[in-house]
Amino acid sequence: MSTTASGDITKWAAKDGKFHRQVSSFRDFVEPSPDARFPAEAGRYHLYVSYACPWAHRTLIVRKLKGLESLIGVSVVHYLLGPNGWEFASPDEVPGATLDDINGAKYIRELYFKAEPNYSARFTVPVLWDKKQNTIVSNESSEIIRMFNTAFDELVAPEYRGITFYPDELKEKIDDINGWIYDTVNNGVYKAGFASAQSAYEENCRALFESLERIEGILSSNEFLLGTRLTEADLRLFTTILRFDPVYHGHFKCNLKQIATGYPNILRWMREVYQLPGIKETVNMEHIKKHYYMSHVQINPTQVVPLSNGPDLDSPIVKPAARPY
């Protein structure tokens, strides 16, 4: 999720009434080689996130599942996206949020200007920060989770080494399913929700539900998207589906169906992923709901936050058929 260096941050749609997501600006990589520009080292890198943001959420999940918590620190912004963008807050002010103990920034935007004084694009989370070079390594979530997947394997505890959510034998299939799910589901909810023209809304809302029907069909015969193995494709989809009923269905007008009542196989899959060890700890539904309903005042000017958190994900228990990763 992002804020912009100039202009009204509530104007998400372009003149054509469509929402066009910005391409991430920082695209470097942490690598296991000591000769790399950004070599993998314990304690060198820091992750800045919002619990509300589905793109940042995926990095928190992989950080957790790969045992990187002692190697890569994390700071969490306030759920409310204000005129100056993402702001840091103490946990006393906002439970779950943190101050920036690494750079002492008040806003995420300050990190961008520290890394690039002439930066003029959006101030997005997540941000992977290099404490040695005092710069941003990456603000692209899909690439950060790939780094977390393999770059630190020599540094993690033995039980996490070799765990991969992007296995060689499934890379082509993962890339393929990521492609259409990103366009029509992950980003599709935003293209529907931020549309300022009826035609743009209807086009993207219908494409979204066509893809949900496709996913429902896949999960009618598969435990996970690509079989019995949990991959990054599942993790990338999970952070969107988690937010669907409590946020996107109403707030973004993605209301042809709900996950809880319209997609039994997606619901079973969502519960199974949520109940895996460590996943629940990365979910903060208060931050999620308050962010969307209180930040997007052009959609919800009253800032009233609905009560429902979506379907109960703790029950019934859904146990994997075998160890999924």
Quick check: 9 pLDDT over 70? Answer: no
The residues near 111 (Cβ < 8 Å, ≥ 6 apart) are: 48, 103, 105, 127, 129, 136
What CA–CA distance (Å, rounded) separates 125 from 51? 10
Each residue's pLDDT tens digit, 193-245: 999 999 999 999 999 999 999 999 999 999 999 999 999 999 999 999 999 99
Token representation of residue 170: 């499934």
Each residue's pLDDT tens digit, 90-102: 999 999 999 999 9
Q: How confident is the model at residue 177 (pLDDT cuts 50, 70, 90)?
A: very high
pTM of the model: 0.94
What CA–CA distances, in Å, run from 238 to 165, 247, 267, 282? 14, 14, 10, 12
Contact 129, 111 (CB under 8 A): yes
Quick check: 6 pLDDT over 50? Answer: no
Which residues does the annotation mark as catalytic?
A: 53
Residue closest to 188 by CA, chosen among 2, 18, 14, 4:
18
What CA–CA distance (Å, rounded) separates 307 from 295? 17
